[in-house]
Chains A and B, each alone.
Chain A
Amino acid sequence: MSDLSKDPVYIAEDLIAQDIDAYLLKHQHKTMLRFITCGSVDDGKSTLIGRLLYDSKMIFEDQLASLEHDSKAHGTQGQNIDFALLVDGLAAEREQGITIDVAYRFFATDKRKFIVADTPGHEQYTRNMVTGASTADLAVILIDARQGVLTQTRRHSYLVNLLGIRNVVLAVNKMDLVGYSQERFYEIVKEYSHFAAQLGMKAFLPIPISGLAGDNIVTRSENMPWYQGPTLLGHLEDAPINVARMQDEDFRMAVQWVNRPNLDFRGFAGQIGSGTVQPGDAIRVLPSGKTTTVKSIVTYYGTLDRAVAGQSVTLTFADEVDCSRGDVITRADAPCEVADQFEATLVWMDEAEMLPGRPYLLKIGTQTLTATVTEPKYEVNINTLEHLTSRTLALNAIGVVNISTDRAVPFEAYAKNPDLGGFILIDRMTNATVAAGMVHFALRRSQNIHWQALDIDRDAHAAIKNQKARVVWFTGLSGSGKSTIANIVEKKLHAMGKHTFLLDGDNVRHGLNRDLGFTDADRVENIRRVGEVAKLMSDAGLIVLTAFISPFRAERQMVREMMTEGEFMEVYVNTPLSVAEERDVKGLYKKARAGNLKNFTGIDSPYEAPVAPEIIVNTVELTAEDAAEQIIAALLAG
C-alpha cells in the first residue's frame, strides 16, 4: 500500500503554509484537462482513479476512514484499501460491484486541474462511455497485462477513435501480476498497434503501470527500469488540450441568446466554438449569409480586445443584422457550410430502436430542428469492425445513415469541429435523448435540388372542383371498421359531386409499398409514403381518405405536419380490441393468436391511440352509416 510521506510532490505543499498568496497566484494559472478512463470490468479502472485521487491528496481523512471501513465490508482487496469503492458512487453500484453510470471526478496538481469521466466497461453501457468521451481531451485505455487485448479493448478503442479523441494512452495495468515483464508489455503493445492501425488511430502512448501498487502513476517505477517514457500523471500534465487547439481554427460562435435589455443594446451571447475574434472583424451570420463587423466584445468587467475559443462572450455588431438563437457567427471570408442533408454516424442510446422516416428533433450547436433518417446505410459491428446491412439501430448500436432536416443548418464535419459537427437526436414523444451523431459531410443533392414554386397551387386546384382540399385520416385497430366507414364516406361525397380518392392500406401494400413488411421500421416507412402521396393528391385539390392502422402517434403527427393548418383531419375509429377480434373479418386475429402472424397490431405490436383526434367514432354504439354521416358533417363544416 502506498505511503503518502514517500511522495514529496503531491502532499500539501510547503508553499501553502509559507506563502498562501504565492500559492494562489500559481494555481490561478492552471489549465484544465478532461479525460476518460475505459477498460473492461476487471481492468482496474476505478482502482486507478482512486489511486490518482489518493496520490494527489484529494481524499480527506474522514473519507479515508469511511473507505477503510467500507473496504472491509464490501471490498475485494482483503484488509487493504479498495480504491474502487471511492469512485463507485451509487448505492446499487456499490452492492453489485460494478460501475453503471458515468461519474465525474476531480483532482489537481500544480500544473493542471483534471476532470475524469469514469465510465462503465460493459457492452450494454456503450452510451455511457460515448457520453464520457464526448467531452474528453484524452483517453486512458486500460488493459489487464495478464489478459492482453480483449474484445472490449477493441470496442473501447473504436469508440474513442470515433469520438475523435486524438490523445490516447494505452495503460497496461497490473504489471505487478506479470512480474513487471518487459516482454509481456511489448507483446501487448505490438498486438494493439496492429489493431490501432486498422482503426486509423494515428498515435497512442503505451505506459506500463500498476494502479494498485502505484507503479508509473505519479513516480517512475523502480520495478520497471526498462521503461523510459513518462509516468501517467506526467503525461496527463503535458498532453495538449482541445480548446487550445480550436483557437487555431476559423472563428465560429453559435448564438445562444439575444441580449436586449433596452432599445440601445443588442448583443449576441454565445460560447466561442473555434478561432478568435476582435472588434472590427468582418463576420457573417449563417444560414442567412448576411455580413457585418464586430463592434465590441462585451463582458461584465468591460469590453475585451480579443476573445478566444472556449470563452463565453456577448458580441455587438456594427449594423442591424438579423441574428437569433441557432444562428452561427463566422468569419466573413471563411464561413462554414450550410445544408439540410448529411451523412453521419449515429450511436443509438434508447431502448426503442431507430425508425427510419420517423421525425426526431435534432440539436446541433444551439439549433433544434426536425430531422428524419432517410437512409440507413450500414451498422458497424464494433467488435469486428464489419459492416452489416440494417434498416434500424438498437440500443448501443452504431451505424452510418443519411439524415435530412426540415431546414438548412450551419455545420462542420465532426472531425474538424466537434462543436458544430456533433448532434443529438431527441424523441418528440418521450423527450429522451435517443442518439448521439457525428456529421461526416453534407449530401450534395441538398444543394442541387430546389423547391419549384408552381403557379397553380392547391387552393386553385380545389376551387375549380368547388371544394376544399382535405386529408381525412382514419386510424384504428385491424377490423375496427376503417375501410368500411371510409368507403361509405367516399360514396356519399361522390354522390354530392365531390372529387375524392380513397387510399386503402391493403391496396397500397400491393403496389407502392410492396417492398415493406410489418416491423416497426417498415410501418413507419409505410405511413411516410402514404403521407407523401396523400399530400400530392391534396395538392391536386382532392378530398383524400386514407384507411391505415397507422399505429404510431409520431407518424400520424408527421403527416399532420406535412399539411397546412386545418387540412388534416384525424378520425379515430375506436373499436375495443375484444370487439375487433370478435369480428375478425379477415381471420387475421385468429392467425396472430395462433402465432402464425408476427407483429400484429394489438396482439404483439402496440397501437398508440390518438390524444386529440378531430373525430372519434365509436363503432360499438354507432352504425357505419351513422359514423359516415358524422364525419361528412364535420368535413363540410370545417
Chain B
Amino acid sequence: MPDQRPSEAVSQSSLTHLQRLEAESIHIMREVVANAENPVMLYSVGKDSACMLHLAKKAFYPAPPPFPLLHVDTTWKFQEMYKLREKAARDAGMQLIVYQNPEALEKGINPFDHGSLHTDMWKTEGLKQALTKYNFDVAFGGARRDEEKSRAKERIFSFRSANHRWDPKNQRPELWRLYNTRKSKAESIRAFPLSNWTELDIWQYIHLENIEIVPLYFSAPRPVVTYNGMLIMVDDDRFPLAKGQVPEMKSVRFRTLGCYPLSGAVESMATTLPEVIQEMLLTTTSERQGRAIDHDQAASMEKKKQEGYF
C-alpha cells in the first residue's frame, strides 16, 4: 500500500486544475498501454520524470506500471541522481534499463572537451540506439509545452520517422481526447503525458503528493566553481580544476538537472519545497536558462528535436 497523503476526497463540485491535469495524464498513459506493443518510459531522474513516474503508479494501481523505465545515461550525471534512479525503479516495482552509447563510452566523450558533440552522442544518438535496440514502439517523455516555443505546438502523441526525426509540419490533428495511435512498422511514437503542465504545476503536485525528488533541488552547502559563466558543482574528480583552483563551498541548489558539468547552480537558501516554489515564483528568469543547450540560436530546440533529440 502506498503512503497515505493528506486526504483529498472530491467534495467540491469542480475538480481543481491539478486534479484535472492528473486525470488527463493518467488517461494518456492508459491509452498508450492499451494500444502499444512495447512501450517504455524515458526516465531522466529529474523532477518531471519523478512526477511522470508517480502518475504512472497511480494510473495502473494496483498493478505496477506495465512497462520498463529507460535511462539514457551519459556517465556524467550527478552521483545523487544515480542513487535515486535505482531506488525509484525499485519502489515502483519496475524494470530499469540503463543505456550508454558504446561509441561515446569508447571515445570518452565528455562535456569539457567535446562541446555539443557530448549531447549529440550521449543523448540524441544514445536515445535512438536504445529505442532501436529494444524495439520500443512508444516512449513516454516528460516534456511540457510551457518549456519552450516549439514544444508549445507539439502533439501529445508525437510521431518519429524510422530514423527518429520529427516533422513539425506534418503533425496529426488531436481532437477531444481521441488519440490516433496508429503507426507504420518503422515509425515510433513519443507520448508526452505532461504536455499541459507548467513548471509551477509540477512543483505544486510534487509538494501535494509528497513525491521523492533528488536532494539537489534543495539548497545545501556544495563545492562549486565558476565555469563558462555558470556555477558548476564539482561532483567528482573528473572535473578539470585549474592548477591551484579550489572549489568554494556555497549554499546552492539546481533548478534543472542534467550532466553535472552542464547544470548551472543558483545560490539559494531554499531547503524545503515551499521555499523552492517561493523562489521560483519570485525569480525572473525562465527555467531553461540554467541549461547550456538552448543558447546557441533561437530555433535551436526545434532543430535538435527534428534531428531526434527528445
- Give me the interface of A with B, judged by CB distance under 8 Å: 12, 16-17, 20-21, 23-24, 27-32, 60-63, 66, 70, 87, 89-92, 94, 100-106, 108, 112-113, 115, 127-128, 130-131, 134-135, 241, 243-244, 247, 256-257, 259-261, 265, 267, 269-271, 298-302, 304-308, 310-312, 314, 325, 349, 361, 363-364, 366, 418-419, 422-424, 426, 431-433, 436
| Chain B residue at smallest Cβ distance from A107 | B198
Interface code B122-147, partner A: CB below 8 Å = 1, 0 otherwise? 00000000000000000000000110
Which residues in A have their C-beta under 8 angstroms from that of B26?
271, 312
Q: State whether A103 and B152 are in contact (beta carbons under 8 Å apart), knowing that A60-B285, A271-B23, A325-B34 are contacts in the complex.
A: yes
Give the docked Cα–Cα distance between A349 and B299 (Å).
Answer: 28
| 18 residue pairs A–B, Cβ–Cβ below 8 Å | A60-B284, A66-B298, A87-B149, A89-B150, A89-B152, A90-B153, A105-B152, A108-B17, A113-B198, A247-B13, A304-B10, A310-B19, A312-B22, A312-B59, A419-B176, A419-B177, A431-B184, A433-B180
- Give me the interface of B with A, judged by CB distance under 8 Å: 2, 4-5, 7, 9-10, 12-24, 26-27, 30-31, 33-34, 57-64, 145-146, 149-150, 152-153, 168-169, 171-178, 180, 182-184, 195-196, 198, 200-201, 204, 207-208, 274-275, 277-278, 281-286, 289, 298-299, 302
Which residues in A have their C-beta under 8 angstroms from that of B23?
271, 310-312
Chain B min CB distance to A406 (Å): 17
| Chain B residue at smallest Cβ distance from A30 | B17
Most buried by A among B18, B30, B200, B201: B30
Q: Is the CB of A433 within 8 A of B173?
A: yes
Q: Is the CB of B17 within 8 A of A24?
A: no
Q: Is the CB of A261 within 8 A of B275?
A: no
Q: Is the CB of A89 within 8 A of B21?
A: no
Q: State whether A299 and B284 are in contact (beta carbons under 8 Å apart), knowing that A241-B14, A422-B176 are contacts in the complex.
A: no
Known pairs A241-B14, A271-B26; list 5 more (Cβ under 8 Å): A61-B285, A108-B198, A306-B10, A312-B22, A366-B31
Chain B min CB distance to A236 (Å): 14
Which residues in A have their C-beta under 8 angstroms from that of B169?
92, 100
| Chain B residue at smallest Cβ distance from A364 | B178
Which residues in A have their C-beta under 8 angstroms from that of B171?
101
8 smallest beta-carbon distances between A and B, as pairs: A261-B63, A89-B149, A32-B17, A91-B299, A312-B26, A60-B286, A113-B17, A431-B182
Give the docked Cα–Cα distance between A439 and B180 (Å).
Answer: 19
Q: Is the CB of A259 within 8 A of B20?
A: no
Question: Which residue in A70, A418, A431 is a CB contact (below 8 Å) of B176?
Answer: A418
Q: Is the CB of B196 within 8 A of A115?
A: yes
| Chain A residue at smallest Cβ distance from B195 | A104
Which residues in A have their C-beta under 8 angstroms from that of B177?
135, 271, 419
Q: State whether A28 and B152 are in contact (beta carbons under 8 Å apart), knowing that A21-B274, A135-B176, A300-B61 are contacts in the complex.
A: no
Q: Is the CB of B173 within 8 A of A32?
A: no
Q: State whether A104 and B60 are in contact (beta carbons under 8 Å apart), knowing that A20-B278, A426-B182, A436-B175 are contacts in the complex.
A: no
| Chain B residue at smallest Cβ distance from A112 | B17
Question: Which residue in A24, A92, A103, A305 is a CB contact (below 8 Å) of B9?
Answer: A305
Give the docked Cα–Cα distance between A363 and B17 (Å).
Answer: 27
Q: State whether A12 and B282 are in contact (beta carbons under 8 Å apart), knowing that A101-B171, A431-B180, A431-B182 are contacts in the complex.
A: yes
Give the docked Cα–Cα distance between A92 and B149 (Å).
Answer: 12
Chain B min CB distance to A433 (Å): 5
Give the docked Cα–Cα distance between A28 and B23 (Å).
Answer: 15
Give the docked Cα–Cα distance between A522 and B175 (Å).
Answer: 30
| Chain A residue at smallest Cβ distance from B31 | A256
Most buried by A among B27, B149, B176, B299: B176
Give the docked Cα–Cα distance between A418 and B177 (Å).
Answer: 10
Q: Is the CB of A424 within 8 A of B61?
A: no
Chain B min CB distance to A541 (Å): 37
Question: Which residue in B16, B34, B278 is a CB contact (below 8 Å) of A29?
Answer: B16
Give the docked Cα–Cα distance between A419 and B27 (Å).
Answer: 13
Q: Is the CB of B175 within 8 A of A424?
A: yes
Which residues in A have their C-beta under 8 angstroms from that of B284?
60-61
Which residues in B have their C-beta under 8 angstroms from that of A301?
2, 4-5, 7
Give the docked Cα–Cα distance between A244 and B15 (Å).
Answer: 8
Chain A min CB distance to B16 (Å): 6
Give the docked Cα–Cα distance between A579 and B299 (Å).
Answer: 51
Q: Is the CB of B178 within 8 A of A424?
A: yes
Which residues in B have their C-beta under 8 angstroms from that of A269?
30, 59-60
Give the docked Cα–Cα distance between A271 and B33 (Å).
Answer: 15
Q: Is the CB of B152 within 8 A of A312?
A: no
Which residues in A have their C-beta under 8 angstroms from that of B57?
300
Chain A min CB distance to B197 (Å): 9
Q: Is the CB of B196 within 8 A of A104?
A: yes
Give the docked Cα–Cα distance between A60 and B204 (Å).
Answer: 19
Give the docked Cα–Cα distance between A310 and B175 (Å).
Answer: 16
Q: State whether A62 and B285 are in contact (beta carbons under 8 Å apart), knowing that A30-B17, A256-B34 are contacts in the complex.
A: yes
Chain A min CB distance to B211 (Å): 12
| Chain A residue at smallest Cβ distance from B145 | A104
Q: State whether A31 and B17 are in contact (beta carbons under 8 Å apart), knowing that A104-B152, A261-B62, A271-B23 are contacts in the complex.
A: yes
Q: Is the CB of A24 within 8 A of B298?
A: no
Which residues in A have their C-beta under 8 angstroms from that of B15?
31-32, 243-244, 308, 310-311
Which residues in B have their C-beta under 8 angstroms from that of A366?
31, 34
Q: Is the CB of A299 within 8 A of B302?
A: no
Give the docked Cα–Cα distance between A433 and B152 (Å).
Answer: 20
Which residues in A have their C-beta under 8 angstroms from that of B200?
108
Q: Is the CB of B282 within 8 A of A16?
A: yes
Q: State whether A431 and B178 are in contact (beta carbons under 8 Å apart), knowing that A90-B150, A312-B27, A314-B61 are contacts in the complex.
A: no
Question: Which residue in B22, B174, B204 is a CB contact (below 8 Å) of A131?
Answer: B174
Give the docked Cα–Cα distance between A456 and B4 (Å).
Answer: 65
